[in-house]
Structure 1
């Protein structure tokens, strides 16, 4: 697993946890945490796919 993807997954889990806690306390600031979780999931997905593509074709990864 790429390191950046691992960090993004950790941020994703923490953001979802913070959102749940915020909503349970009645604070609407949890919406910001949900948005952050969305960005983190996109970053993780990007790095997973990039790593998978590099493993399939290492020569293409060196070109661009």
Structure 2
């Protein structure tokens, strides 16, 4: 089973949020190495974007489960 949802808008949003998370972690590391406390903002952005990625992954999984249940109910009613 894949971590990411099937192709569609939820997958693209999850990948973009994951990319923002990785880039903000890298920016936080660079900021802290240079002695800047601006890294705190980057850490907060990493937290928000990781939560967004999980949200879109879980939402897509729940939608696919609901769709498969709906398809199973329709197949049971037809047969």
Q: Does 1:44 align with 2:64?
A: no
Gaps of 5+ in 2: 5-10, 71-79
Q: Which has the greater radius of gyration?
A: 2
1:1-64 mapped onto 2 (5 Å cutoff): 1=4, 2-58=11-67, 59=70
SS of 1:26's equivalent in the other structure is coil
Stretches of structure 1 that go unaligned for 5 or more consecutive residues are 60-64
Q: How many residues align?
A: 59
In the superposition, the TM-score normalised over structure 1's length comes to 0.87
